[in-house]
C-alpha cells in the first residue's frame, strides 16, 4: 500500500484539498494518509473529520494520526509539508515589527524581514524532517514542500540533503495562467506556457494559444482596456520588463524596491486583499481563525456532512507528481530546485523555479538557458538575500540575518543600514522562543556594537576632520 505523510495536517482546509486531489487518481484510491501535526487538538479534529469523510463517501483509503514525526514518516513513499512553525504568533511579529519601522507588506511570508524570519523558523524543522526520512522512510521518498519562504527552505533542504529528493511547490503559475486565459478569452487547455525564474518572481517567457504567441494580444488588450482590475502591480512590471510575472500582485510588490516605499504609490497601485492591502493575509488568518476551528469541530462531531468532491482535482501539483511516480504517466510542473545550470544567467546552486518532469524514475528538472537580462537582474536582487537567509538559518548566525535583511530590495528602499540593524535585533529578541539555533548567540561583528545609531537619530557624533582633496580632480 502506498503511504503519504501529511506533515502539518492541522492546516485542515489545504490538507483536505490535497486529499481530494490524491484520491482523484485511480492509482491512489487505497492510499494510506499518515496525518501529523504538533497541535494535538487540531490534529484530532482533522483526523475525525477525515474518518467521517471516508465513511460517508465509502472511500477505500485509510487514515492514521500522530504527533510523532518519525511515526508518520515510517515507510512513507511520499511526504507533503504544509507546516507553520509557531502558528500565527510569530507571524504577527513578522508583520508588525517591520511595519513599525516603515516596511509595509501585504503577505510578508516569503521575502522582506518577515519572510526571512519565517525561513529561520522553518528551515530547522524541515531539515529535521529530512533526517528522519533518511532513517525511516522509503529510500526513494519524494518530499514535496508547500511551506514558505519557498526559495529559502528549498535551497536549504537540497543543499544540506542532496541525496533525498525534495522539491518546493507553489500555485502561482497555475492561477496566473488561468487568469490570463480567462482575460484573453482562450481555453487554458489549448495554451502552452514556459515560465522560469525564482519562486514568486518567475516570468512567462512563452505564452501561446494553439501555437500562436499571446503577448501581442495582451499588449493590444492593455492598450484598449487597461490592466485587469486589481492587477496593477503586475501589469506595471510587464510594461517595465516586457514579461508577465507569476505571483499575485500584492505579494509580488514585496519583491521589488519600487512601490511599497511611499504612501502615494501604495494609494496609486494597491487594491483590496491580495491586490496589495496592508497586512491582508495576516489579518485574514486572525479574523477567520475561530470560525475555521468551529467549522472543523462541526465536521469532526458530525454536526455537518464532510464535503468530498469525487473526481475533483485542484491546480496543486502534488497529486500529479505522486501519480507519475507510481504509474509512469509523465507530468510536468513548475518546481523549486537548486540551479544546476538550468537558468544559465542565474547563480549556480541558487534556488530557481523551472519546468520539472516526473516519471517512475523520479524528478527531472529541465534546461531553460538564459532568461532576459532585466528579469535575471530582478531575480538576482532577491537571490542574494535568500542565500544569506539560508546561511543564517543553518548556522544560527545573527549577523547573516542582518545581512539578509540589509540586501532585501524593499527593506533597502525604505530603511538605512542602522535602522535595519535595530529592527533585526528587535525581531531576534521577540522571536527567540521559535529560534533555538540563535540561543545565547549574538553578533560579534564590530559594526554590531561600535558606533551604533538609534533609530530616529537626528545628528551624528563625528571625530576630527582629516584634510583631503574633495570633489573631482585629475
Q: Please identify every residue annotated as catalytic.
A: 171, 255
Which residue in 274, 358, 362 sits closest to 317, CA to CA?
Answer: 358
3-state secondary structure the chain: CCEEEEECCCCHHHHHHHHHHHHCCHHHCCCEEEEECCCHHHHHHHHHHHHHHHHHCCCCCEEEEECCHHHHHCCCCEEEECCCCCCHHHHHHHHHHHHHHCCCCCCCCCCHHHHHHHHHHHHHHHHHHHHHHHHHCCCCCEEEECCCCHHHHHHHHHHHCCCCEEEEECCHHHHHHHHHHHHHCCCHHHEEEEEEEECCEEEEEEEEECCEECHHHHHHHHHHHCCCCCCHHHHHHHHHHCCCECCCHHHHHCCCCCCCCCHHHHHHHCECHHHECCCHHHHHHHHHHHHHHHHHHHHHHCCCCCCCCCCCCCCCCHHHHHHHHHHCCCEEEEEEEECCCCECCCCCCCEEEEEEEEECCEEEECCCECCCHHHHHHHHHHHHHHHHHHHHHHHCCHHHHHHHHHHCHHHHHHCCHHHHHHHHHHHHHHCHHHCHHHCCCCCCCHHHHCCCCCCCCCCCCCCCCCCCCCCCCC
191-198/201-209 β-pairing: antiparallel
CA 376 and chain centroid, separation: 19
Distance CA 378, CA 245 (A): 11
Distance CA 24, CA 314 (A): 10
Amino acid at each position: 500500500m502506498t503511504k503519504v505523510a501529511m506533515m502539518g495536517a492541522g492546516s485542515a482546509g489545504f490538507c483536505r484539498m490535497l486529499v481530494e486531489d490524491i484520491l482523484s487518481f485511480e492509482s491512489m484510491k487505497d492510499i494510506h494518509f499518515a496525518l501529523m501535526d504538533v497541535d494535538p487538538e487540531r490534529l484530532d479534529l482533522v483526523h475525525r473529520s477525515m474518518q467521517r469523510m471516508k465513511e460517508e463517501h465509502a472511500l477505500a483509503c485509510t487514515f492514521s494520526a500522530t504527533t510523532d514525526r518519525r511515526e508518520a514518516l515510517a515507510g512513507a513513499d511520499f511526504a507533503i509539508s504544509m507546516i507553520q512553525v509557531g502558528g500565527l504568533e510569530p507571524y504577527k511579529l513578522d508583520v508588525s515589527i517591520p511595519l513599525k519601522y516603515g516596511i509595509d507588506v501585504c503577505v510578508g511570508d516569503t521575502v522582506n524581514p518577515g519572510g526571512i524570519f519565517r525561513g529561520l523558523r522553518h528551515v530547522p524543522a524541515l531539515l529535521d524532517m529530512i533526517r528522519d526520512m533518511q532513517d525511516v522512510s522509503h529510500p526513494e521518498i519524494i518530499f514535496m514542500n508547500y511551506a514558505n519562504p519557498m526559495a529559502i527552505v528549498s535551497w536549504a533542504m537540497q543543499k544540506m540533503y542532496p541525496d533525498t529528493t525534495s522539491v518546493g511547490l507553489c500555485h502561482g503559475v497555475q492561477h496566473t495562467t488561468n487568469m490570463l486565459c480567462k482575460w484573453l478569452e482562450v481555453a487554458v487547455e489549448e495554451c502552452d506556457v514556459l515560465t522560469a525564474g525564482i519562486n514568486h518572481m518567475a516570468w512567462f517567457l512563452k505564452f501561446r494559444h494553439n501555437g500562436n504567441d499571446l503577448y501581442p494580444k495582451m499588449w493590444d488588450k492593455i492598450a484598449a482596456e487597461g490592466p485587469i482590475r486589481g492587477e496593477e502591480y503586475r501589469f506595471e512590471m510587464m510594461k517595465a520588463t516586457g514579461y508577465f510575472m507569476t505571483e499575485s500582485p500584492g505579494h509580488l510588490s514585496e519583491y521589488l524596491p519600487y512601490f511599497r516605499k511611499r504612501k502615494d504609490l501604495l494609494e496609486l497601485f494597491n487594491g483590496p486583499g491580495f491586490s496589495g492591502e496592508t497586512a491582508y493575509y495576516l489579518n485574514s488568518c486572525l479574523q477567520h481563525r475561530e470560525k475555521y476551528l468551529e467549522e472543523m469541530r462541526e465536521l469532526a462531531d458530525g454536526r455537518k456532512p464532510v464535503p468530498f468532491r469525487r473526481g475533483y482535482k485542484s491546480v496543486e501539483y502534488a497529486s500529479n507528481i505522486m501519480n507519475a511516480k507510481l504509474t509512469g504517466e509523465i507530468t510536468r510542473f513548475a518546481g523549486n530546485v537548486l540551479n544546476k545550470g538550468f537558468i544559465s544567467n542565474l547563480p549556480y546552486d541558487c534556488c530557481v523555479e523551472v519546468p520539472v518532469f516526473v516519471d517512475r524514475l523520479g524528478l527531472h528538472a529541465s534546461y531553460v538557458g538564459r532568461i532576459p537580462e532585466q528579469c535575471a537582474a530582478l531575480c538576482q536582487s532577491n537571490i542574494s538575500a535568500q542565500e544569506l537567509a539560508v546561511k543564517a538559518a543553518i548556522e544560527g548566525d545573527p549577523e547573516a540575518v542582518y545581512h539578509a535583511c540589509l540586501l532585501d530590495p524593499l527593506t533597502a528602499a525604505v530603511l538605512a543600514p542602522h535602522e535595519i540593524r535595530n529592527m533585526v535585533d528587535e525581531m531576534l529578541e521577540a522571536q527567540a522562543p521559535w529560534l533555538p539555533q540563535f540561543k545565547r548567540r549574538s553578533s560579534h561583528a564590530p559594526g554590531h556594537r561600535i558606533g551604533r545609531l538609534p533609530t530616529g537619530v537626528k545628528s551624528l557624533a563625528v571625530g576630527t576632520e582629516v584634510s583631503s582633496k574633495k570633489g573631482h580632480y585629475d
